[in-house]
């Protein structure tokens, strides 16, 4: 396919460049691998707009090249797996010579969700409550197996929030609470979370990069 203008490969929303299409990004990755002569396989997950790259071997320098390329195309490295060890950032990676490397890429900019319910739900550690009452919710990249740009994740339903809470408890047995977020008068842009989207396209969860003031937050009362 001939491209007359590079903008044909861009998604534009409200005048802002978001993310290059996955097909274009995957071709870029294939070109990089081919140029280095590395044995590799690529798997594209269309539902979540993510890419998984399996490399027979790799160097830190090449990982940094991949990171730069993904950033230029509107993606980021969310997870690196080496011999069953999980890393969220390249600076944390410990490479074993000759060991295969699995690299996960996800989209930086997902589609905005405008039709949201009056109440959303967020799961957090109980020890965070006092701080949240003072300053509200501030985007963080922690508490997830994969790394993401700073985000606040919210569930559409209390059932979804309880499922997330149970998942967190299964990881570290800490005490968690569920917060109710009122969206009435809340001037925040919400984005679709591809990892919380059904095959039918139904959105079960969203996220925001913006702060949520404490005036819109209440603790969910268990019955």
| CATH number for 61 | 3.30.980
Same domain, 127 and 168: yes
> 3-state class of 111 per DSSP?
coil
pLDDT of residue 18: 61
Mean pLDDT of 66-74: 90
Same domain, 127 and 197: yes
Measure the CA–CA gap between 89 and 147, rounded to whole angstroms: 7
Other beta carbons within 10 Å of 144: 15
Reported as a single tens digit per residue, the pLDDT across 153-212 is 899 999 888 888 888 887 788 899 999 999 999 999 898 876 665 545 555 788 898 899
> Residue 203 has which token pair?
């959105």
- Which secondary-structure segment (H or E) carries 54? strand 50-55
* Residue 144 pLDDT > 50: no
Same domain, 27 and 42: yes
Same domain, 11 and 64: yes
The residue from 63, 89, 107 where one domain ends is: 107
Reported as a single tens digit per residue, the pLDDT across 12-23 is 343 334 677 888
Reported as a single tens digit per residue, the pLDDT across 29-68 is 999 998 888 899 999 887 567 899 999 988 899 999 999 9
Within a domain: 1: no
Same domain, 50 and 65: yes
Same domain, 196 and 129: yes
Pick the closest to residue 121 from 34, 12, 25, 221 (CA basis): 221
Domain that holds residue 53: 6-107
CA 130 to chain centre: 27
Same domain, 161 and 190: yes
The residue from 107, 122, 143 where one domain ends is: 107
Within a domain: 181: yes
Within a domain: 166: yes
pTM: 0.58
């Amino acid at each position: 396919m001939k491209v007359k203008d590079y903008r044909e490969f861009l998604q534009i929303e409200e005048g802002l460049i978001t993310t290059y299409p996955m097909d274009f990004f995957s071709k870029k990755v294939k070109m990089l691998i081919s140029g280095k002569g590395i044995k590799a396989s690529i798997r594209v997950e269309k539902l979540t707009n993510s890419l998984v790259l399996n490399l027979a071997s790799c160097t830190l320098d090449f990982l940094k090249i991949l990171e730069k390329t993904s950033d230029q195309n509107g993606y980021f490295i969310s997870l690196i797996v080496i011999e069953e060890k999980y890393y969220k950032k390249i600076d944390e990676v410990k490479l074993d010579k000759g060991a295969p490397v699995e690299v996960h890429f996800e989209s930086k900019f997902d589609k905005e969700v405008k039709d949201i319910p009056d109440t959303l739900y967020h799961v957090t550690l109980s020890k965070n409550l006092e701080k949240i009452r003072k300053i509200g919710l501030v985007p963080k990249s922690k508490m997830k197996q994969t790394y993401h740009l700073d985000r606040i994740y919210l569930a559409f339903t209390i059932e979804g929030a309880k499922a997330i809470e149970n998942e967190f408890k299964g990881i570290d047995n800490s005490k968690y609470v569920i917060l109710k977020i009122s969206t009435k008068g809340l001037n925040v842009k919400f984005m679709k979370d591809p990892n919380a989207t059904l095959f039918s396209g139904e959105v079960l969860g969203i996220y925001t990069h913006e702060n949520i003031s404490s005036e819109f937050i209440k603790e969910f009362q268990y019955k």
